[in-house]
Amino acid sequence: MPLLTALEYASVFVFALTGALVASRAQLDLIGFVFIGALTAVGGGTVRDVILNRDTVFWVANPGLIGVAAVAAILVFFTAHLLESRYRGIVWLDALALAVAVPSGVGVALAMGMSWPVIIIMGITTGCFGGLMRDVVCNEVPLVLKQGELYVTCALAGATTTVIALALGLPENIALLACAGATFALRSGSIAFGWCLPVYKSFPPRQ
């Protein structure tokens, strides 16, 4: 299985797990689990494909991906109660999903011969929009926007790593793996050690 295809399947499966875990926190029924899982799994890639004007959106070309998302959601429906902290599970699974979704988006843009700014933006889009949709629909504070969290920054760093690696003459597969590694390392560091960027704090206006 080519690396890009493997990343696509992994991204769909792991993001669907996170979507289903959020559905469990909202106490939805089985169909709700599958819907939120699938929305999370394919949301970012769908936005990417529409922007890039691909001939066919990726999951329409390969409907089996919806089946993968459904299986992941059903699995969570029957096992979520075993987790000590579902929120902790969501955060770490989401970090893993981000690390496979960003190189997947980057790889699609590369395959279409896009310029490096578009490649980076498509990596960010693929990695971030599915989780954003999930959290908004389930009325959760979006992880992508949470204060004191590195998220979009991780996607940006990972996608930029690919561009730099390719500029240095590394093979595309190695560059995509480097993207995944950089994304996960930065995101896991943010979760485990509290790495973050400075947050804007305004002064109160003068009376």
Position 198 in a domain:
no
57-74 average pLDDT score: 97
pLDDT at 85: 85
| Residue 65: pLDDT over 70 | yes
| Residue 23: pLDDT over 90 | yes
Q: How high is the mean pLDDT of the chain?
A: 94
pLDDT at 1: 57
Within 10 angstroms of residue 179's Cβ, the number of other Cβ atoms is 30
Position 202 in a domain:
no
Position 157 in a domain:
yes
Position 122 in a domain:
yes
C-beta of residue 21 within 8 angstroms of C-beta of residue 76: yes
Q: What is the pTM of this model?
A: 0.93
152-164 CB burial, b ≥16 within 10 A, e <16: bbbbbbbbbbbbe
| Sequence-distant (≥ 6) Cβ neighbours of residue 12 within 8 angstroms | 41, 42, 45, 59, 65, 68, 69, 72
pLDDT bin (cut points 50, 70, 90) of residue 107 is very high
* Nearest-angstrom CA–CA distance, 63 and 167: 35
Q: Where in the sequence is the domain holding 131, given as residue range(s)?
A: 3-193
pLDDT at 52: 97
189-207 average pLDDT score: 81
What is the percent of the chain where pLDDT is above 90?
84
Position 186 in a domain:
yes
Position 201 in a domain:
no
C-beta of residue 58 within 8 angstroms of C-beta of residue 65: yes
Q: Of 2-11, 69-78, 170-179, 194-203, which gets the smallest average pLDDT?
A: 194-203
Position 178 in a domain:
yes
66-91 average pLDDT score: 93
C-beta of residue 139 within 8 angstroms of C-beta of residue 146: no
Domain total in the chain: 1
C-beta of residue 41 within 8 angstroms of C-beta of residue 18: no
| Residue 55: pLDDT over 70 | yes
* Nearest-angstrom CA–CA distance, 124 and 98: 9
Per-residue model confidence as pLDDT tens digits over 124-166: 999 999 999 999 999 998 988 887 789 999 999 999 999 999 9
Pair of tokens at residue 71: 């299986």
Position 200 in a domain:
no
* Nearest-angstrom CA–CA distance, 47 and 128: 10
Per-residue CA distances from 133 to 6, 13, 35, 195, 203 (Å) = 23, 16, 12, 24, 32
* Nearest-angstrom CA–CA distance, 17 and 131: 11
